[in-house]
Structure 1
Amino acid sequence: MKRGLKGLSVIVTLAMLLILLGGALVTKTGSGDGCGDSWPLCNGELIPSNITFELVIELSHRLVSGASGILVLLLCVWAWIALGHIREVRPLAFISFFFLVLQALIGAAAVMWGQSDAVLALHFGISLISFASVLLLTLIIFEVDKKFDADSVVIGSTMKKHIYGSILYTYVVVYTGALVRHKEASLACPDIPFCSNAAGWLPGDINQWIQMGHRTAATLIFVWILIAFIHAFKHYRDQKNIYYSWLIALVLVTMQAISGMLVVVTRLNLGLALAHALIISLLFGVLSYLTLLATRSKRTK
């Protein structure tokens, strides 16, 4: 039974990543209207007759999301029954499924009635919460036989502030990035690092403000994670899960910054843009794991 639950949890975690990338692909290819304004049918048909590139992208995303929803529900029920005695399992099971359903409903509402760019930008962030919850649920499932041991950590108040603050701020950065995509402001400032075409080096219109706001927010999260890693290097090298989590976070945030710049330089290369979405998802997952550790730490250093 444990082996089956572990296998399912890994499959569901990967499926949630596919949902995140699929949603990013839909946005970046402009395929949101690939099935017209009908949902869950495609152009009012169960089997579409007029196949287009946008339709294939949108329909594939819907099918993956639907299949993943069934798998997430199965994982949540199974984990609830088998491991419900563990403190975090039931809340994470509920959050995983609830936010997956919520992102599906927002997506359906956007198809049928349309939504503002500000609301659509929430879609990726909501999916990210569902992914992170499934990831933590997977780690807890493996933790049962001590492959992941989150109870042995001792975290001080300074480190806890870094953990809680950075994950909340990273979510804000994610939202600003999603807003850039939905406002089609990715090339509003085609130069790096500033809007050199703007008077006085300041953004000249709303799209440039959105783009530069995201760049500024992304720079600050890089600095924050670097500071947190230095703190971990000085005080937590004996606690490998803390130290290596921050090291991985630093590598990921560096890759995120580089991929973001390359997206602009290459004028929205699709592969780089999807890599950008993947890296921020993995970074949020690592910070979520650190948050789990922080909530379990009873003592301080």
Structure 2
Amino acid sequence: MQSSIASQSVPAPRFLEPLAAPISDGIAPSLRKYAWFVLGWNITVVLWGAIVRATGSGAGCGNHWPLCNGEVFPTSPRIATMIEFTHRAMTGGATFTILALLIWTFRATKGRHLARITAVASTLLLLNEAFLGALLVKLGYVVNNQSLGRFIVLPIHLANTLLLLGALTLTAHFLSRDSGFMDGSVEYRYFGLTLIGLGSTIAVGVTGSLAALGDTLFPNATFAQDFAQSSPWILRLRWMHPAASLLAGIFVLGLIWASSARGSATNRQLANTVIGLLLFQFALGGLDVLLRAPTWMQILHLLGADVFWATLVVLTARLSVVPLGCPGSTCRLRAGR
């Protein structure tokens, strides 16, 4: 049964004609391209952060933050210092790009534009991301640290990262729409199922961060050790990642089926892309286990996960946030976004 949570109604009849000519919002194409660039840049920052963890370079700048070993620019740096400092510099660049996106979005859009909401959310999540990153460094939850605190803060950090990428994806998506981008002119469908699908995907990311940490701390651990009582508990939790992946895959496929995604050509294309990326992730996960998680495979696996997440967020936005009066999946939203 399809559930629909309608936003407040507006009298403008144009929103009741979803098959008519697209509604122009006057947003410059350069802003739309920039929003997608910001998303891509932040994915790159996430990947470099994984390199920091996989190479054990988290303590490259000591426990200093935001300085690196007490210096603005490290002198005579080691390899680990260069890797960690590069990540911090990239994060600083990401801060400026997101702040610029926030300002540009507010200057280019009118009140109640959905991109304003997601741009503010992106900025708040960025601040929380910086706080969590600093916490890991200041508390020494890096390199070979096996304290319980690290196993608590790291998953929270990863969940916040996915929420940040999701908010940036939605900002770029809503800026790219020709209609259905104003609060009050849209209705929200499949809300519960959408939250379950996205939440289960975040759970996959969280368990994946723990599995990757286990691979980093115990690089020579075998698959059999995951089930040995004598193994460290972080290894015995690695099974949770593939289990969560299977459950999340079922929820995602259920979301696509229940929302009749295949009723629209664009949504069908996006749905097929999501399914393809999902299968690709399962294949990479299997290779990751067989190859015993080399660094390059971990980065490739994470890249696939980030692309899958962004694509899934766009698909769910197209399915669950639609113009008022949109019959089924026939509304015209900007293709390919």
TM-score scaled by structure 2?
Answer: 0.76
- Quick one: which amino acid aligns to residue 198 of structure 2? I
The equivalent residue for 2:200 is: 169
Q: Which runs of 5+ in 2 are unaligned?
A: 1-26, 142-148, 329-337
Residues in 2 aligned to 1:49 and 1:272: alpha-carbon distance in whole angstroms: 32
The equivalent residue for 2:85 is: 59
Which has the larger share of helix? 1
1:1-301 mapped onto 2 (5 Å cutoff): 2-115=28-141, 116-117=149-150, 118-144=152-178, 157=190, 161-183=192-214, 184=216, 190-191=222-223, 195=224, 198=227, 206-230=233-257, 235-293=260-318, 294-296=320-322, 298=324
Q: Which runs of 5+ in 1 are unaligned?
A: none
The equivalent residue for 2:13 is: none
- Quick one: which amino acid aligns to residue 137 of structure 2? V
Residues in 1 aligned to 2:135 and 2:188: alpha-carbon distance in whole angstroms: 43
How far does residue 155 in structure 1 lie from its aligned partner after superposition? Answer: 8.7
Q: Work out whether residues 34 and 56 of structure 1, in 8 Å CA contact, stay in contact via their aligned partners in 2.
A: yes
Over aligned residues, Cα RMSD in angstroms?
A: 3.1
The superposition leaves residues 17-67 of structure 1 with CA deviations (integer Å, 9 ceiling, x where unpaired) of 111111211111111101111111111122222322211111111001101
The superposition leaves residues 140-170 of structure 1 with CA deviations (integer Å, 9 ceiling, x where unpaired) of 22224x7x9xx9999975xx55433111111
3-state DSSP class of the match of 1:296? Answer: strand
Q: Structure 1 49/196 Cα, relative in aligned 2: closer, same or farther at 3 Å?
A: closer
The equivalent residue for 2:12 is: none
- Quick one: which amino acid aligns to residue 37 of structure 1? N
3-state DSSP class of the match of 1:71? Answer: helix
The percent of aligned pairs where both chains have the same amino acid is: 24
Residues in 2 aligned to 1:105 and 1:155: alpha-carbon distance in whole angstroms: 32
- Quick one: which amino acid aligns to residue 297 of structure 2? L
Give the aligned length.
290
Q: Structure 1 45/175 Cα, relative in aligned 2: closer, same or farther at 3 Å?
A: same
3-state DSSP class of the match of 2:262? Answer: coil
How far does residue 204 in structure 1 lie from its aligned partner after superposition? Answer: 6.0
3-state DSSP class of the match of 1:92? Answer: helix
Residues in 2 aligned to 1:16 and 1:88: alpha-carbon distance in whole angstroms: 21
- Quick one: which amino acid aligns to residue 143 of structure 1? R
Larger radius of gyration: 2
